[in-house]
Structure 1
Amino acid sequence: MPASSLIIILAMVGYAVYRQSQRHEVVGSSRFKLAIIYGIVGIAIGGYHVPVNGLAWLFLGISIALSVVVGLARGRYTRIWNEGGRVYAQGTALTIGLFLGMVVVKFGLGTIAYFAGINDSGGIGEVLLMIAVMIAFQAELVWRRAEPLGARESSTDAVGAAR
């Protein structure tokens, strides 16, 4: 992995941890923004190739399943509350740990696939795409939990407006 790719992933992981530790308003229309950013960066820097054999497809399936499960767990355990007519969310030590654990496991799966000769073409782009999947599932679950508390669909909606 080139040093530039390592710097990009470290910066993006650091940014994600920072964002999770900060309180932010839950707004429906922008819930996928971070997932889209990770997906675009993952595609832009490359490193993703279509699996070439059955075991490589299995590893990809495990990666996607891991992203979905961790995203749902993080969505379930993200702290959500209503304050002053706005709904806020904030990650916890558990959700941050799940995120970091998933990144470590994803790198581990890629390393195993490489040394076992299953797939030698994975890269940083693939890791970022898996993070995007995780963030998308988390964002949707957080939104579904926040909506009954009065979360706004759009940042232009009035605070406390009746539905």
Structure 2
Amino acid sequence: MDAWNYLIILALVIYAIVRQTQKHEVVGSTRFKLALIYAGVGLVIGGFNLPTGPWGWSFLGFSLVLSAVVGLVRGRLTHVWRDPADGRVWAQGTAVTIALFVGLILAKVALGTIAYLNDISDDGGTGEVLLMIALMVGLQAEIVWRRARALGARASSRAPAAPAAP
């Protein structure tokens, strides 16, 4: 990867971390927005090549499973609550969910380095990393949405918030 790829990943990681630290209303229709941003940028800038050989496929499979597991865990650990004053449902990342996010990035970089140093693959790039993050963020968003829906979260921004508790 060249320097621009690293800067793109760094900018998107910083954006995601800042966004996770801010409370935001959970709205069903917009839950995949961040995942779509990551996937779109990953597809546009490229850098995803199918692996060759069993070790390359193993590394890709492990990366996908790791992204999925981290996304599911982050979805369960994200703080979700209903505001009794206005009935809206809110979510906010925690120190643990942010650490898991950063850990996933570092694990992906470590896997890429191991693959490169062992001649398993030398073509992993920014697009691949961003698609892995998109998978993680998308699964997290779905888990958070399911938890928030049980609390009365709005399906769309046009729907009124659930009535506040008396």
Q: Which residue of 1 aligns with 2:52?
A: 52
Letter in 2 for 1:71: G
Letter in 2 for 1:92: T
Letter in 2 for 1:94: V
SS of residue paired to 2:10: helix
Q: Give me the whole-angstrom Cα distance separating, in 1, the residues matched to 2:154 and 2:53.
A: 45
SS of residue paired to 2:96: helix
SS of residue paired to 1:154: coil
Q: Which residue of 2 aligns with 1:42?
A: 42
SS of residue paired to 1:51: coil
Letter in 1 for 2:39: G
Whether 1:90 aligns to 2:92 is yes
Mind listing any 5+ residue stretches in structure 1 that lack a counterpart?
A: none
Candidates 151, 154, 160, aligned match of 1:152: 154
Q: Please report how far the alpha carbon of residue 54 of structure 1 lies from its aligned counterpart in structure 2 after TM superposition.
A: 1.1
Candidates 136, 139, 152, aligned match of 1:137: 139
Q: Give me the whole-angstrom Cα distance separating, in 2, the residues matched to 1:8 and 1:23.
A: 25
Q: Which residue of 2 aligns with 1:117?
A: 119
> So what's the TM-score if we normalise by structure 2?
0.95
Q: Please report how far the alpha carbon of residue 86 of structure 1 lies from its aligned counterpart in structure 2 after TM superposition.
A: 0.4
SS of residue paired to 1:98: helix
Letter in 2 for 1:91: G
Task: Extract structure 1 runs of 4+ deviating beyond 2 A.
Answer: none
Q: Please report how far the alpha carbon of residue 51 of structure 1 lies from its aligned counterpart in structure 2 after TM superposition.
A: 1.0
Question: What is the alpha-carbon root mean square deviation over aligned residues?
Answer: 0.7
Q: Please report how far the alpha carbon of residue 56 of structure 1 lies from its aligned counterpart in structure 2 after TM superposition.
A: 0.6
Letter in 1 for 2:162: G
> So what's the TM-score if we normalise by structure 1?
0.97
Mind listing any 5+ residue stretches in structure 2 that lack a counterpart?
A: none
Q: Please report how far the alpha carbon of residue 53 of structure 1 lies from its aligned counterpart in structure 2 after TM superposition.
A: 1.2
Q: Provide the aligned length of Structure 1 versus Structure 2.
A: 161
SS of residue paired to 1:117: coil
Q: Please report how far the alpha carbon of residue 157 of structure 1 lies from its aligned counterpart in structure 2 after TM superposition.
A: 0.2
Q: Please report how far the alpha carbon of residue 30 of structure 1 lies from its aligned counterpart in structure 2 after TM superposition.
A: 0.7
Q: Give me the whole-angstrom Cα distance separating, in 1, the residues matched to 2:158 and 2:12.
A: 28
Q: Which residue of 1 aligns with 2:24?
A: 24
How much identity, in percent, do the aligned residues show? Answer: 58
Q: Give me the whole-angstrom Cα distance separating, in 1, the residues matched to 2:76 and 2:61.
A: 22
Q: Please report how far the alpha carbon of residue 106 of structure 1 lies from its aligned counterpart in structure 2 after TM superposition.
A: 0.4
Q: Please report how far the alpha carbon of residue 124 of structure 1 lies from its aligned counterpart in structure 2 after TM superposition.
A: 1.0
